Amino acid sequence: MPAKGVIDPQRLSDITRTLSSDEFEGRAPGSAGETRTIAYLVDQFKAAGLEPAGPDGSYVQVVPLVRTQVPADASMSVTEAGKRRPLVQQQDMAALALRPVDRVQIAGAPLVFVGYGVSAPERGWDDYKDVDLRGKVAVYLVNDPDFEAIPGEDAYGRFGGRAATYYARWTYKYEEAARRGAIAALIVHETEPAAYGWNTAIAPNGEGYDIVRADPAKEKLLLQSWLHRDAAVEILRGAGLDFEALKKSARGKAFQPIQLRDSTFAADFPLAHARIDSHNVLGKITGRRYPNESIMVGGHWDAYGIGEPDANGLRFRAGALDDAIGMAGAIEIARAFKRGPRPGRTIVFSAWTAEERGLLGSEYYADHPWLPLETTVANFTMDVLQPNGLARDIVLVGAGQNELETLLTHRAAGQGRVVTPDAKPERGLAFRADHFPFAKRGVPTLLLMGIGGGHDLVNGGREAGDRWVSEFTAQCYHQACDRWSASWDLAGAAQDVTLVYQMAGQLANSREWPQWNPGSEFKAVRDSSVAQRR
Ligand SMILES: [Zn+2]
C-alpha cells in the first residue's frame, strides 16, 4: 500500500483547478495572468510555511526576458557563384534572432557544413577538428551521428542510438556555434531525426524569447534557423555537394568540416524587440545542519496564455497538467515537510517562469543561483503528471544518467511499483524541461513527466496508459484542451509526488552526493567541483 495521506489528491486537484481557471488567463509570462499567478503562488508558499528564497528576502526573483520578432518578409539569401537564391521565412527558413538588436545584417558570410556539429571528448568524437567558424554561418545536420548510423560505421553505438543525447538537440548546436564565434547557424530540418515536422519547427510569428544576457553578442548567435531540407539539398548541390553523401561522411570519425565553395549567406531585416520582466517564485526550508547544501523541488508556472478560440470556443491555453499540477505537487511537498522535523539540508521550492519559451526561468536561476550549484545535491522536476488513477509503474524520462534513478527504483518499490524508462527517448524529452539547465551545469537531476510514456494503469493497464498519452499529446498538449476535469483521478499523481517527497527527504537527511553515471555528458562538469562537496 502507498504511504497513505502524505500527499492528498484532492488538494492537488484544487490547486490545479485554481491555477488553470480563466481568472489566470493561461498564465503567459508578462501578462495580467502572470501577476495573479505570482501573487497566488507567493500566498501558497507562505501558507505552506516556506521562508522566502528570492533575492532581498522576497519570494520572487525577477527574470528579465527579451522578446524578438523576425518579420515574415525578412530578407535572407544564399549567393552561389554570383547567383542569389532567396530564402523565404517559414518556407525555407524558420529563423529566430535572439540578440536585442534593431537590425539583423549579415553580408557575404561563408557557409561551413559541420556535420552533426558534435564535440564530445568523453565519446572520442569531434566534428569541428580545427575549423575556424568566426564570422561564418555553420550548417548542421539535426540529431547526433549515431541516430542513422548502421553497423560498421564509426558512429554506430557511440551515442544513444535512436535515443537522443544532448548533442542531438538544436539548443546544443546553437550554443556550440556561438561558443565558436559563428555569426549564424542553420540546422537542416528532417522530420524523423528532429522528432517533429516542419510546421512544429516554425515559431509562430517569428517570435523568440531569451533571458537578458550580460553579453548577447558573445552568448547568442545573430541568427539561428531551421533550414528546410529541400532548400539545404539545393544549396549544397550548388556548391557541388550531395546531401546524402555528406550525411554518410558525417557518421565517420574522420569527417572534416567543409566550407561551401563560392557560396555566401546574407540577411538584412529590421528586428522588433522588447523587454519583459517575468518572475520565478522561490521558497525554502533552511537546513538545520547543512544550510548551504540544497535539494531542489519544482516545476513551471507558465503556460501558453490566450490564443485563437479552438473548436470548442476555448481561448485560454491554461496548462492544467502542464504544469499547474507540478506547482500543486511542489506546494504539497512543502506542506508535507513542514509537518515533520526540519531537515538537515536546505530544500528549495521553485516555480519557474517561461519554461514554454525555452526553459528560461530555470536557466536564469541556474545562471544566478541563490545557493551554489556545486553544493546543490539534486534537482527534482515535475512536469505533467497523469490523471488516470493508480499505476503499477512510474515512467522515467532520460533513464541511465545518474544515481537518483536507483533512489527512485527503491522508493517506487516501497509503493509496490516499478520504474519504466521513457518509451520514446528519440523525442529528447529529457532535455526539454526545467531540470535541464541544472543537469547542464552538473547538478544531478530527475524528471517526472507523465507523458514520457503510457503508465501501466491499475484500471486498463499499459494499453489505457498509452492511449491516454497519444490522445493527450495529439489533442491537448499546449492546447486549450489541457484543462482541469472533475473526472480526473489523481491517486497515481499523488503517489508520484510522494516519491519526490521521499527522495528529497532522504537526501536532505543524509550526507549523500548522488553521482552521474560514467559516460554521462554531464559527469565532467560535476567532477570538476568535487572539492567543494567535502
Ligand atoms: Zn511543461
Residue with cell 546574407: 266
Q: Distance between CA atoms of 300 and 371, rounded to whole angstroms?
A: 19
Residue 1 lies in a domain: no
How does DSSP assign 85-154, residue by residue? EE--BTTTEEEE--S--SEEEEEEEEEEE-TT--EEGGGTEES-TT---TTSEEEEESS-TTTT--TTST
Query: Is the same domain home to 147 and 249?
Result: yes
**CATH assignment at residue 265:** 3.50.30.30
Query: Is the same domain home to 194 and 167?
Result: yes
CA–centroid distance, 182 to ligand 1, in Å, is 31
- Return the C-alpha cell found at 19: 491555477
Residue 3 lies in a domain: no
Boundary of a domain, candidates 242, 270, 298: 270
CA–centroid distance, 515 to ligand 1, in Å, is 26
CB 66 within 8 A of CB 210: yes
CA–centroid distance, 385 to ligand 1, in Å, is 10
Query: Is the same domain home to 146 and 178?
Result: yes
CA–centroid distance, 125 to ligand 1, in Å, is 32
CA–centroid distance, 530 to ligand 1, in Å, is 31
> Going by C-beta distance under 8 Å and a sequence separation of 6 or more, which residues neighbour residue 6?
336, 498, 501
> Going by C-beta distance under 8 Å and a sequence separation of 6 or more, which residues neighbour residue 365?
61, 63, 280, 282, 350, 352, 437
CB 215 within 8 A of CB 181: no
Boundary of a domain, candidates 270, 287, 311: 270
Residue 500 lies in a domain: yes
Query: Is the same domain home to 333 and 435?
Result: yes
Q: Distance between CA atoms of 350 and 403, rounded to whole angstroms?
A: 22
CA–centroid distance, 477 to ligand 1, in Å, is 9
CA–centroid distance, 19 to ligand 1, in Å, is 14
Residue 2 lies in a domain: no
- Return the C-alpha cell found at 506: 532522504
Number of independent structural domains in the chain: 2
Residue 360 lies in a domain: yes
Query: Is the same domain home to 233 and 292?
Result: no
- Return the C-alpha cell found at 73: 518578409
Query: Is the same domain home to 55 and 94?
Result: no
In which domain, by residue range, is 150 found?
Answer: 71-270
Strand, coil or helix: what is 253? coil
**CATH assignment at residue 338:** 3.40.630.10
Boundary of a domain, candidates 270, 296, 331: 270
How does DSSP assign 181-213, residue by residue? T-SEEEEEE-HHHHTS-HHHHSPGGGEEEEEPP
CA–centroid distance, 363 to ligand 1, in Å, is 14
Query: Is the same domain home to 263 and 300?
Result: no
Q: Distance between CA atoms of 523 and 527, rounded to whole angstroms?
A: 6
CA–centroid distance, 318 to ligand 1, in Å, is 11
Residue 337 lies in a domain: yes
Residue 104 lies in a domain: yes
CA–centroid distance, 326 to ligand 1, in Å, is 9
Query: Is the same domain home to 14 and 76?
Result: no
Per-residue pLDDT of the chain (534 residues; tens, 9 = 90+): 344 579 999 999 999 999 999 999 999 999 999 999 999 999 999 999 999 999 889 999 999 999 999 999 999 999 999 999 999 999 999 999 999 999 999 999 999 999 999 999 889 999 999 999 999 999 999 999 999 999 999 999 999 888 888 899 899 999 999 999 999 999 999 998 988 889 888 877 889 999 999 999 999 999 999 999 999 999 999 999 999 999 999 999 999 999 999 999 999 999 999 999 999 999 999 999 999 999 999 999 999 998 888 888 889 999 999 999 999 999 999 999 999 999 999 999 999 999 999 999 999 999 999 899 999 999 999 999 999 999 999 999 988 899 999 999 999 999 999 999 988 888 888 888 999 999 999 999 999 999 988 999 999 999 999 999 999 988 898 889 999 999 999 999 999 999 999 999 999 999 999 999 998 889 999 999 999 998
Q: Distance between CA atoms of 455 and 504, rounded to whole angstroms?
A: 23
List, in sequence order, every residue forming a beta bridge with 341; answer none if it has no partner. none
Residue 158 lies in a domain: yes
Query: Is the same domain home to 325 and 209?
Result: no
CA–centroid distance, 321 to ligand 1, in Å, is 8
CA–centroid distance, 228 to ligand 1, in Å, is 27
Query: Is the same domain home to 241 and 369?
Result: no
Query: Is the same domain home to 305 and 219?
Result: no
Q: Distance between CA atoms of 258 and 255, rounded to whole angstroms?
A: 9
Query: Is the same domain home to 78 and 25?
Result: no
CA–centroid distance, 3 to ligand 1, in Å, is 27
Give the pTM: 0.90
CA–centroid distance, 303 to ligand 1, in Å, is 8
CA–centroid distance, 383 to ligand 1, in Å, is 5
User: Quick one: the chain helix, strand, coil %, rounded to 5?
Assistant: 35, 25, 40
CA–centroid distance, 451 to ligand 1, in Å, is 10
